[in-house]
Structure 1
Amino acid sequence: MDKRLASPSRRLFLQTSAAVGGGLLLSFNLPAAGRAAEAAAPSRLNAFVRIARDGTVTIAAKRAEIGQGMKTTLPMLIAEELDVDWAQVRIEQAPVDNAVYGDQWAGGSMSTPQEWEPTRRVGAVARALLIAAAAQRWGLPAAGLVTEPGVVIDPAGKRRLAYGELVEAAAKLPVPDPQALTLKDPARYRIIGKAHPQSDNPAIVTGQPLYGLDVRLPGMLYATFLKAPVFGARVDRVDLAPALAVKGVRAAFVVEGGTALDGLLPGVAVVADSWWTARKGRQALEVVWTDHPASGQSSVAMAARAAELARQAPQRVMRQEGNVETALAGAAKVVEAAYHYPFLAHATLEPQNCTAAWKDGKVEIWAPAQDPEEGRGLVARTLGVAPGDVTIHLTRSGGGFGRRLMNDYMVEAAWIARQAGAPTQLIWSREDDTRHDFYRPAGWHNLTAGLDAQGALVAWRSHAVSFGEGDKFVRAAEVDASQFPARAVANHLQTVSTLPLAVPTGWLRAPGNNAFGWVFQSFIDELAHASGQDPVAFRRRLLGEPRALGKPGGWDNLDTGRMRGVLDRAAEMAGWGRAVAKGTGLGIAAHFSHLGYVAVVIEASVGDDGTPVVHKAWAAVDVGRQILNPSGAEQQVQGSVLDAIGSTLRQKITLENGAVVEG
């Protein structure tokens, strides 16, 4: 299991809960939050919870909101254990402070499993403090008191105290041990498991400022940053005069930068009164870039080298069970297939942007970031300041998908703002965003499988070609050797070869699995076809009896029973086996990723021009016992299906002469 999934320590709980009276930086509020501001000054029960005398509860959302709904979902956990009416809850984005809030990054689909218990305990601590305050006022044992939404009730049910009446006294009481508190029985949940719209929806649909692009500061300037088409190439020479001649351009300068692709790279910055003016100044530049070794990279050359490696002995073995070669030699039928997937860009709707202000050796940043603490460290190292001198405010992200786990745009903005001597908002153009992404790595998989006379899978061999050197993969290019049908077939061999890469790579939504699922499920379809079996029946047979393929609690612990459950449900919803129109077909896939099980049926056809057309999709998803917010869960599934269709049929990134072709 990923170490970041482990339960937070008791020390973290106590750190969090002990922050009574600590400052809470206000970010963006829903318009309705004005009612709370009009009430008497609220008291803080801990860093997460503030209650006003009128009963309004303000809860801090600790993690970045990138469209996955965490700004709403995590406060739901607190509100449930606090026992309040959801209609009385207002949500604010918490300041970036890992010492108080713990991990605040959003990535790897881990926010819910990480926060499921500790965040509920934050709410339980706040409720316990309110009960203790009521017990103190009434002179009764706290153990006999109960709560209903927003009130504490005595054992006889005759006396009631609203939270707003108790909060000031509660905030002064000793903090109980969070681990000693009993959490609510799921049968009594009022908030968890119920559909709730995202807290930002009213602001989004009425155009209120929420996103990084919405930040406005007094005296703020705007910047563009031109980098070399070949990743990491330096500025050889440039005449800045044409840019400076554009009316409204305040400054233009060369940034020397470094060589780390995930840091501050060389380039030319143009700072102006408006972004459009900065863009015009940038367009006036003619930059000559130095030669760079990466200029020899191309998609064509990579594919040719991958084909050579596929014909050679693999460089290393990732996983081996049984004797694949003997099983293949004795198989009734051997099936081979090769698959390739391209580099992909994240293509977030909101391009990369960041606003920074430099003053007296300190920098303040407003950014749509997925990993703000890493960004703080990067800025501090690059600008030569202490991490404590870097303040970061999280804005809502117009899409993340893993792209904003990297903080290159943050350090660029900080550097430019210091040089410009004024608060500066850096905005990347769409072309910048496409040509300077951290791409989902391309890959090649060469698969061979053996079937016995009854059509059962008896051997599976995979030789993957990915990127890296020696025994190290480049970022996000790891080959997962636990992918199904590993452990479900007696004779299994996963090998890999790598080729070097000087292209920035990173994690894309469902890292690795967004490619592996397509490869392995496509090959399983080929095996079903070769054996003359229905694709659903073949998968059922391969899954076998319900059992765990891995260690309990492990990140790769696939339960074949749960996988069979989503497979059967998706097939049932789609009417698998029914007659369809001529030229139309049904396809199915089932995959395990990030502790979740998903099966999807697609009804599609191929047009006269050879273009695939998707008519309908059915998805069955099992991500565990508690769906915290069904509304958000449905949005995630629908968005994932659309994302997958787009990635499969329309998207790719191509390299020529070391640069990205697409803009």
Structure 2
Amino acid sequence: MSATLRLSRRRFLQVLAGAAGALVVGVRFAEAQDTGTPVELLGDVYSQIGPFVRIEPDGRVIIGARTPDMGQGTRTALPRIIAEELDADWAQVTVLGLPLGVEDDGGKPRFIYGDQSAGGSTSVPQAWQDLRQAGAAARWLLVQAAARRWNVPAERLRTEAGAVIAPDGRRAGYGDLAADAARIDLPKQPLPLKNPAQYRLVGKPAGNVDAHGIVTGTLQFAIDHGFAEALVAVIARCPYLDGSLAEVDDSEALKVPGVVKVLPLPGPDPALPIGEQPLAPGVAVLAEDTWAALQGRDRLKLAWKPGKWADESTAALERQALDKLAGAPTMRARDDGDFDKFFKLGRKLQADYYVPYAAHATMEPMNCLARVEEDRAVVVAPTQTPDRAFEVVRRITGLSPAQIDIRFPRIGGGFGRRLEDDYVAEAVLLAKSVGKPVKVMWTREDDMTHDVYRPCGVHRMSAATDRRRRIIAWRHQLASASKRNGAGGADQQWKSEIHPDDLPAGLVANLRYDWYALDSGVKRGNWRAPAHVSNAFAVQSFIDEIAAALKVDPLKFRLDLLGAPRRLPYRSHGGPVLDTGRLANVLKLAAERIGWGQRRTNGHGLGIACHFTFGGYAAHAFEVSVEGERLLIHRAVCAVDVGRAINPLGVEAQMMGGTIDGLSTALNLAITVKDGQVQQKNFPDYPLARMAAMPRAVEVQIVESDADPAGAGEIGIPSVAPALANAVYAATTVRVRRLPLLPELLRLL
């Protein structure tokens, strides 16, 4: 039997009697209240379960993780939220990933498990209330079952580590109570949640549930999956920005043993989002194995025709940016007070900062396995957006929602690249054409030259200060190519480039944010902490420059600018408020940890920076020195406030990873364009930092907080580059305003 409980955001809990006496509690949309969990998901087949708790008669607890995990730790954090409210014994918990939960609602899709995408550090914040209710509901049912069995009032019972305990010491394990609990209806009102003072799991360090499988090589990523008789496809894609295929001779390719077919792939349709179709026209070689497909591709004789961006180059793009910055903005994002008046009255400072295009360079290249039949499609892909992948399949195949199965194993790195599903479209198009399963494989060269890159930009920063060394006027002008790739018009494109409530908005009375649209054929997209990572470099570097010009300590200058703690309105993602007190706190913690104020006489320099990103607050501090052509990072400190940390060990790992990623990118990485082609082909051209260039450790300090949790996947990267550049200035008096930092530093020294 079943019972339902309506929750916020039109969701409810569904309780079902499972096979062999298992108790199942799931989170579903309210519209799906008449839908039962499939029978095959209730027995001992664990491959596909909904986002529910299942308690087996032997006490084992199986918890489904609904969002993709690409290293950000959601497969550990989300089930721990449920397990906490359930009072489960974590040693008895098994975590299993979910497929996309979708069903047919009169020909329209109904996503029955809630939001299953992973991006913008949203997985934990969006799940916090729902999953607590799921755990609380299961615990309530178990307590009710014990109360009826013992004839004891439920309010006199307590739970602990997978058992219900009576006042006289009697204990009943969850497995023993599961069958009885499944026959009890839930109340109609939301259930009370645990007092945080009672938490035994949330806020306590936990190892990654996938760690053993990753280390031993037994955990399968999407690239490890296959279907019987699947063909492997590799694709020769047009190297020119928006170019086209002029000629193809596949005669030699078809002579390669194992090559089955050669098929053209269409280029992008301007009417469709770039993430729902191939990024470039191409020619696919389908073969019995990867080696044959690669050999066949090498033997293709292709002629490509350059497109409208044949003359695009990195140098020309920068010239275009400087020309546009001298004119009227495409969009004025914010205009407080009277900037023009007060800029004239004060001491003026101005500087330009350059941020290049950047690739994602995920460890697992793009890939997708697809089977398309007359009445069913199955896709296995490392996607951050399984719901978008579903829409891609539905559009290409015309199948109904119930006929589409999207599976997303653990992902070998995402960083925003896998918010786009162009590689899914390639696999589905090919599988539909050949009538057999197809596995599309990208090489590193494919991945590097056909990415959706972090937008480049030139940031022109202007400020005026008064005699009391306060900023009285501030202007941030950004010339960039929007990650929206021209979609939505200028009134929408600027929103991915400038966040109008980012600091120092709200702190400086006369402030102006302007955006200038650059024309570029490079495909752009989300790159870890979109916009924040670029804007923070310009803003936090410029604040340091102002402090140096005024001969004020950079830490004191920042704290004075933040002023007394206050909650400022914040309309962009991560709001609705920005707490300056929390930002000042992480700034102080990072400074204290690095030993700010202690004079260095050994050629070392300290740099610091902070930023608010997607609801979290972070600050970085570095100690560096320069020896010849070597930049040595002696210490790296990160202080972070993400509200209540579900798994502090996971947050610490994310801050370490974000810091290392930020350092590697800031030091050496740039995607450049010449004659309408991306120049970087592989890691020799795009040199990720080696261990010797990194600090021996990243010292992470996590603020203990009872605020609702924010995500941690992107918080730890925006303040890295400016803190590093500021440390370099402190050590050398050389101000680096252009990324990547290391080649620019060596040029200026």
Regarding TM over 0.5, the answer is yes
Residue 109 of structure 1 corresponds to 121
Residue 619 of structure 2 corresponds to 599
Mapped partners of 1:125, 1:45: distance in 2: 18
Task: Give 1:10 deviation, angstroms.
Answer: 4.0
Unaligned 5+ runs, structure 1 = 1-6, 27-35
Residue 262 of structure 2 corresponds to 252
Match status 1:322 vs 2:331: no
Q: Equivalent of 2:276, from 253, 258, 263?
A: 263
Change (3 A) 1:257 1:176: farther
Q: Equivalent of 1:529, from 548, 573, 595?
A: 548
Match status 1:661 vs 2:672: no
Change (3 A) 1:399 1:551: closer
Q: How does 1:642-661 map to 2 (within 5 A)?
A: 642-661=660-679
Letter in 2 for 1:580: R
Residue 685 of structure 2 corresponds to none
| Deviations 1:492-548 (CA, angstroms, capped at 9, x unpaired) | 111122123332211111111111111100000000001000100111111111111
Letter in 2 for 1:173: I
Task: Give 1:158 deviation, angstroms.
Answer: 4.3
Q: How does 1:153-192 map to 2 (within 5 A)?
A: 153-154=165-166, 156-177=167-188, 180-192=190-202
| Deviations 1:585-617 (CA, angstroms, capped at 9, x unpaired) | 1101011111111111111122323x5332221
Letter in 2 for 1:481: P
Q: Equivalent of 2:381, from 367, 375, 388?
A: 367
Secondary structure of the residue aligned to 2:172 is strand
Secondary structure of the residue aligned to 1:437 is coil
Residue 559 of structure 1 corresponds to 579
Range that drifts further, 534-543 or 553-562 = 553-562
Letter in 1 for 2:200: R
Mapped partners of 1:443, 1:56: distance in 2: 53
Q: Equivalent of 2:301, from 267, 286, 299?
A: 286
Residue 76 of structure 1 corresponds to 80
Mapped partners of 2:216, 2:565: distance in 1: 49
Task: Give 1:257 deviation, angstroms.
Answer: 4.6
Mapped partners of 2:452, 2:13: distance in 1: 35
Residue 704 of structure 2 corresponds to none
User: Is contact 1:476-1:506 (8 Å) kept?
Assistant: no
Residue 160 of structure 2 corresponds to 148
Mapped partners of 1:47, 1:636: distance in 2: 24
Residue 226 of structure 2 corresponds to 216
Mapped partners of 1:438, 1:24: distance in 2: 41
Mapped partners of 2:456, 2:39: distance in 1: 43
Aligned residues between the structures: 640
User: Is contact 1:596-1:621 (8 Å) kept?
Assistant: yes
Q: Equivalent of 2:657, from 602, 626, 639?
A: 639
Match status 1:132 vs 2:150: no
Residue 344 of structure 1 corresponds to 358
Residue 557 of structure 2 corresponds to 538
Range that drifts further, 100-109 or 549-558 = 549-558
Residue 244 of structure 2 corresponds to 234
Change (3 A) 1:246 1:476: farther
Residue 66 of structure 2 corresponds to 62
Mapped partners of 2:671, 2:12: distance in 1: 43
User: Is contact 1:45-1:171 (8 Å) kept?
Assistant: no
User: Is contact 1:475-1:505 (8 Å) kept?
Assistant: no
Mapped partners of 1:274, 1:486: distance in 2: 56
Q: Equivalent of 2:423, from 394, 409, 412?
A: 409
Mapped partners of 1:418, 1:9: distance in 2: 37
Range that drifts further, 223-232 or 450-459 = 223-232
Range that drifts further, 435-444 or 555-564 = 555-564
User: Is contact 1:12-1:102 (8 Å) kept?
Assistant: no
User: Is contact 2:50-2:113 (8 Å) kept?
Assistant: no
Task: Give 1:287 deviation, angstroms.
Answer: 1.5
Residue 32 of structure 1 corresponds to none
Range that drifts further, 644-653 or 462-471 = 462-471
Mapped partners of 2:438, 2:265: distance in 1: 15
| Deviations 1:215-261 (CA, angstroms, capped at 9, x unpaired) | 13222332112211124433222112211111111221112354243
| Deviations 1:189-209 (CA, angstroms, capped at 9, x unpaired) | 111111111111111111113
Task: Give 1:372 deviation, angstroms.
Answer: 0.4
Mapped partners of 1:255, 1:45: distance in 2: 36
| Deviations 1:8-55 (CA, angstroms, capped at 9, x unpaired) | 5243556826689613888xxxxxxxxx96xxx99x997411111110
Residue 203 of structure 1 corresponds to 213
Letter in 2 for 1:163: Y
Range that drifts further, 495-504 or 106-115 = 495-504
Letter in 1 for 2:530: P
Secondary structure of the residue aligned to 2:112 is helix
Residue 3 of structure 1 corresponds to none
Change (3 A) 1:531 1:634: same
Mapped partners of 1:233, 1:80: distance in 2: 54
Secondary structure of the residue aligned to 1:295 is coil
User: Is contact 1:355-1:424 (8 Å) kept?
Assistant: yes
The alignment's C-alpha RMSD in Å is 2.4
Range that drifts further, 144-153 or 567-576 = 144-153
Residue 525 of structure 2 corresponds to 506
Mapped partners of 2:62, 2:210: distance in 1: 14
User: Is contact 1:482-1:556 (8 Å) kept?
Assistant: no
Letter in 1 for 2:645: I
Letter in 2 for 1:161: A
Q: How does 1:379-398 map to 2 (within 5 A)?
A: 379-398=393-412
Mapped partners of 1:648, 1:473: distance in 2: 28
TM-score, with normalisation over the residues of structure 2?
0.81
User: Is contact 2:78-2:131 (8 Å) kept?
Assistant: yes
Residue 4 of structure 1 corresponds to none
Change (3 A) 1:495 1:476: closer
Change (3 A) 1:85 1:54: same
Q: Equivalent of 1:441, from 432, 436, 455?
A: 455
Range that drifts further, 371-380 or 472-481 = 472-481
TM-score, with normalisation over the residues of structure 1?
0.92
Percent of pairs identical after alignment?
39
Change (3 A) 1:294 1:13: farther
Secondary structure of the residue aligned to 1:134 is helix
Unaligned 5+ runs, structure 2 = 1-6, 15-25, 103-110, 682-749
Letter in 1 for 2:675: N
Q: Equivalent of 1:95, from 99, 105, 125?
A: 99
| Deviations 1:135-166 (CA, angstroms, capped at 9, x unpaired) | 33334443443222211233x33432211112
Task: Give 1:453 deviation, angstroms.
Answer: 1.5
Secondary structure of the residue aligned to 1:636 is helix
Residue 31 of structure 1 corresponds to none
Change (3 A) 1:189 1:272: same
Letter in 2 for 1:168: A
Q: Equivalent of 1:479, from 498, 511, 520?
A: 498
Mapped partners of 2:288, 2:432: distance in 1: 16
User: Is contact 2:144-2:181 (8 Å) kept?
Assistant: yes
Task: Give 1:315 deviation, angstroms.
Answer: 3.2
Residue 11 of structure 1 corresponds to 11
Range that drifts further, 208-217 or 347-356 = 208-217
Residue 465 of structure 2 corresponds to 451
User: Is contact 2:51-2:66 (8 Å) kept?
Assistant: no
Mapped partners of 1:377, 1:172: distance in 2: 38
Change (3 A) 1:313 1:95: closer
Mapped partners of 2:51, 2:611: distance in 1: 39
Range that drifts further, 263-272 or 129-138 = 129-138
